[in-house]
Homo-oligomer: A and B are copies of this chain.
Amino acid sequence: MTVTLADVAARARVSPATVSRVLNGNYPVAASTRERVLRAVDELDYVLNGPASSLAAATSDLVGILVNDIADPFFGIMAGAAQTEIGGQEGTGRAGGEKLAVVCNTGGSPERELTYLTLLQRQRAAAVVLTGGAIEDPAHIAAMSAKLTRLADAGTRVVLCGRPPLPGSDAIVAALAFDNRGGGRRLTEHLIALGHRRIGYVAGPVERTTTRHRLEGHRAAVAAAGLVDEKDVAEQERLTVHGSYDRRSGYDATLELLRREPSLTAVVAANDTVALGACAALRDQGLRIPEDISVAGFDDLPFSIDVVPSLTTVRLPLFEAGARAGRLAMGNETPPPGGIATIPAELMVRGSTAPPRA
């Protein structure tokens, strides 16, 4: 029923090996022969059997990109950029030696993250790109570290994008980490410079590197300015509410923050989406932004410049980082020294922050 390489060989009057060679293009073949084979391929509508090919060659052209939330542009931008670098060399129409770059949505679940890695390992994936913050549970870190080591041992190139290097796993090609701490610190410093003294923080989910680093940056700025004593954990926590990285969570957390401290003059959100929810909550409380209260986000997603007022935030070069991760996964770029690179975060001051009211 389905046409095989042998059929093509018969039609082109050559051996199967020759067909394989022209298809893979990694071996000298006479132009006339190649022509004949290609014609037979087209006439027969032949499509290579991937599993058979992978089995024989002990490699596959699958590249997996893991994301925490596919509906979040933060991941979409990185994944899209990586995918373009990996599978983007504009096919010949016949789909030659291209890689199959695919994105896998873990939904932020540790189990699904591991499951996907196993599935990719099973497929003998050529490379795996892990994007976004990691979960900090010790058991999960250990499991991930072991799994990534095994993947790397099996020849899969592992690249981290927007995620700090995993302790104990040096089998990795490269880790591109965002300077979340620095960005968080500069953002809050900006607020303090404007004159804010009572600043609430809407944090992301606990046990996430991204959450922790941004929060640490914020608290470092707060402590440096003497707003809250570095040792006063209770007060730090009073001004912090954790939630997930979505709008709803930002809305609820902001209400809670206002309840705890009605005299707040600024709210810093874990990311832009959360900031949107925070703005909505504030507005529903009759507060004007930025006249009555300032709001800041993180990531500088495309919509941030469009909301009213436009959002003060921290720009992360998501597209560039994703593209670089893609090249690294393909072996088209030399890894940074030590395999680790920190990607700078840039403060973007816009309309949602202003001096507090006198």
Interface string of A308-331 (1 = CB under 8 A from B): 100000000000000000000000
The B-contacting residues of A in range 88-109, CB under 8 angstroms, are: 88, 90-91, 93-95, 98, 100-105, 107
Smallest Cβ-Cβ distance to A2: which chain B residue: B154
CB–CB A107/B90 < 8 A: no
Copies of this protein in the complex: 2
Residues of B contacting A91 with CB < 8 Å? 111-112, 114-115, 118
Category for how many chain A residues contact B: 35 or more
CB–CB A72/B64 < 8 A: no
Determine whether A39 belongs to the interface, using a CB cutoff of 8 Å to chain B: no
Tell me how far the C-beta of A123 lies from the nearest C-beta in chain B, rounded to whole angstroms: 4
A308-B307 in contact given A80-B69, A102-B64 (Cβ < 8 Å): yes
Binds B, one of A41-49, A186-194, A226-234: A41-49
Residues of B contacting A154 with CB < 8 Å? 2
A107-B84 in contact given A52-B51, A71-B73, A114-B93 (Cβ < 8 Å): yes
Binds B, one of A175-183, A257-265, A273-281: A273-281
Residues of B contacting A49 with CB < 8 Å? 55, 122, 124
Determine whether A54 belongs to the interface, using a CB cutoff of 8 Å to chain B: yes
Q: How far is the CA of A302 from the CA of B80 in the complex (A)?
A: 21
CB–CB A119/B105 < 8 A: no
A51-B124 in contact given A83-B70, A95-B118, A307-B308 (Cβ < 8 Å): yes
Determine whether A121 belongs to the interface, using a CB cutoff of 8 Å to chain B: yes
Determine whether A199 belongs to the interface, using a CB cutoff of 8 Å to chain B: no
Q: How far is the CA of A53 from the CA of B119 in the complex (A)?
A: 13
Determine whether A150 belongs to the interface, using a CB cutoff of 8 Å to chain B: yes
Interface string of A205-229 (1 = CB under 8 A from B): 0000000000000000000000000
A103-B51 in contact given A111-B90, A247-B306, A308-B308 (Cβ < 8 Å): no
Tell me how far the C-beta of A252 lies from the nearest C-beta in chain B, rounded to whole angstroms: 14
Determine whether A79 belongs to the interface, using a CB cutoff of 8 Å to chain B: yes
Q: How far is the CA of A258 from the CA of B247 in the complex (A)?
A: 33
Q: How far is the CA of A79 from the CA of B67 in the complex (A)?
A: 12
Determine whether A60 belongs to the interface, using a CB cutoff of 8 Å to chain B: yes
Residues of B contacting A80 with CB < 8 Å? 69-71, 105, 107
Smallest Cβ-Cβ distance to A64: which chain B residue: B102
A76-B70 in contact given A302-B247, A303-B303 (Cβ < 8 Å): yes
Tell me how far the C-beta of A69 lies from the nearest C-beta in chain B, rounded to whole angstroms: 7
Determine whether A50 belongs to the interface, using a CB cutoff of 8 Å to chain B: yes
Determine whether A283 belongs to the interface, using a CB cutoff of 8 Å to chain B: yes
Q: How far is the CA of A47 from the CA of B124 in the complex (A)?
A: 10
Q: How far is the CA of A72 from the CA of B79 in the complex (A)?
A: 12
Residues of B contacting A8 with CB < 8 Å? none
Task: Please list 9 pairs of residues, one from A and one from B, whose beta carbons are closer than 8 Å in the complex, sorted by A's number.
Answer: A51-B51, A71-B80, A72-B73, A79-B105, A91-B112, A100-B116, A101-B104, A103-B104, A276-B303
6 nearest A-B residue pairs (beta carbon): A102-B102, A51-B54, A71-B76, A95-B118, A91-B115, A50-B122
